[in-house]
Amino acid sequence: AQTVTQSQPEMSVQEAETVTLSCTYDTSESDYYLFWYKQPPSRQMILVIRQEAYKQQNATENRFSVNFQKAAKSFSLKISDSQLGDAAMYFCAYRTVQGAQKLVFGQGTRLTINP
């Protein structure tokens, strides 16, 4: 079964600095999608960024970018110029097609922004 691992339960960064959240996954599939979701204190789940595995180019959305290393099965999220509003729980997710189609989520990383 596919698994997603976020090895950093908590991270903190100074406002305006850059932080990288790590995510690794285990799969035997060759074509898949990866996602990062943000969950602020309001607990709403918000899609931050999406990566298609067959694309070499790393996805970017404004201050958010990923470092996708397919061979290493690694999908880290980089947040540049961190802002207080970036404080949240971040979840990495993998879309599986084997068995049931679903998103498999990691354990989450709680990000704190220090002013």
Partner 1 sequence: EAQVTQNPRYLITVTGKKLTVTCSQNMNHEYMSWYRQDPGLGLRQIYYSMNVEVTDKGDVPEGYKVSRKEKRNFPLILESPSPNQTSLYFCASSLSVNLDYGYTFGSGTRLTVV
Binding site for partner 1 (CB under 8 A): 4, 6, 9, 33, 35, 37, 42-45, 47, 50, 91, 93, 95, 100-103, 105-108
Contact 66, 78 (CB under 8 A): yes
Q: What is the closest distance, in whole angstroms, from the C-beta atom of residue 14 to partner 1 in the complex? A: 26
* Residue (44 or 69) nearer to partner 1, CB: 44
* Residue (16 or 45) nearer to partner 1, CB: 45
* Residue (36 or 79) nearer to partner 1, CB: 36
Q: At residue 31, what are phi and psi to the nearest 5 degrees?
A: -120, 120
- The dihedral through the CA atoms of 49, 50, 53, 54 has a sign that is negative
Q: What is the closest distance, in whole angstroms, from the C-beta atom of residue 9 to partner 1 in the complex? A: 7
Q: What is the closest distance, in whole angstroms, from the C-beta atom of residue 35 to partner 1 in the complex? A: 5
* Residue (44 or 62) nearer to partner 1, CB: 44
CA distance 55 to 52: 6
Take residue 12 and report the two structure tokens written for it: 């903190």
Q: What is the closest distance, in whole angstroms, from the C-beta atom of residue 113 to partner 1 in the complex? A: 21
